[in-house]
């Protein structure tokens, strides 16, 4: 058993330290990086974020669209405008914020990776639960109509 340099009566955990000292000095995670920020640095970072948050959001959105769908932000917006900001599935207008169930999502065929049209997030989840299978969706419609 190798003894720790900080507390010789305790076994070494890592880097010559006991577990308690190692965890307090060398732990990894968000908290450790924040501990090193001075109040002046925090003010500078907040100021930068306030000045750049809109640019940063559009850059993230553009990168996400390019990665997820393989099209540019301009093409994405043109497709949405061609649909008059209406869901191709239910025909209702898109609503809510960027994380809401009424936001537009670009539906795509998972098997062939081809893009379809914009639909509500909730509509996309709905057809996804039916495995994008038209026959299962027809059966579900027939079932629901029995109770109207």
| Range in 51-65, 95-109, 128-142 with the lowest mean pLDDT | 51-65
- Predicted confidence at residue 55, as pLDDT, reads 72
- Predicted confidence at residue 30, as pLDDT, reads 46
pTM: 0.59
Taken in order of first residue, the domains within the chain and their CATH numbers are 1-32 (no CATH), 37-82 (no CATH), 85-148 (3.40.1800.10)
Q: How confident is the model over 87-109, as a mean pLDDT?
A: 88
pLDDT over 70 at 114, yes or no: yes
Specify whether the CB–CB gap between 4 and 18 falls below 8 A.
yes
- Predicted confidence at residue 69, as pLDDT, reads 85
pLDDT over 80 at 13, yes or no: yes
Cα separations in angstroms, 64 against 16, 35, 50, 67, 71 = 44, 31, 22, 5, 10
| Range in 18-22, 80-84, 132-136 with the lowest mean pLDDT | 18-22
């Amino acid at each position: 058993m190798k003894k720790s340099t900080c507390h010789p009566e305790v076994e070494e955990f890592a880097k010559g330290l006991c577990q308690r000292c190692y965890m307090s000095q060398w732990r990894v995670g968000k908290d450790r990086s924040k501990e090193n920020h001075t109040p002046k640095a925090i003010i500078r970072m907040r100021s930068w974020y306030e000045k750049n948050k809109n640019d940063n959001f559009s850059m993230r959105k553009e990168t996400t669209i390019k990665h997820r769908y393989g099209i540019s932000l301009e093409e994405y917006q043109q497709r949405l405008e061609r649909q008059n900001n209406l869901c191709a599935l239910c025909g209702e207008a898109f609503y809510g914020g960027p994380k809401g169930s009424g936001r537009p999502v670009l539906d795509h065929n998972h098997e062939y990776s081809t893009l379809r049209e914009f639909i509500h997030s909730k509509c996309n989840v709905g057809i996804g639960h039916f495995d994008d299978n038209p026959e299962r969706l027809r059966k579900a419609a027939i079932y629901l109509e029995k109770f109207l």
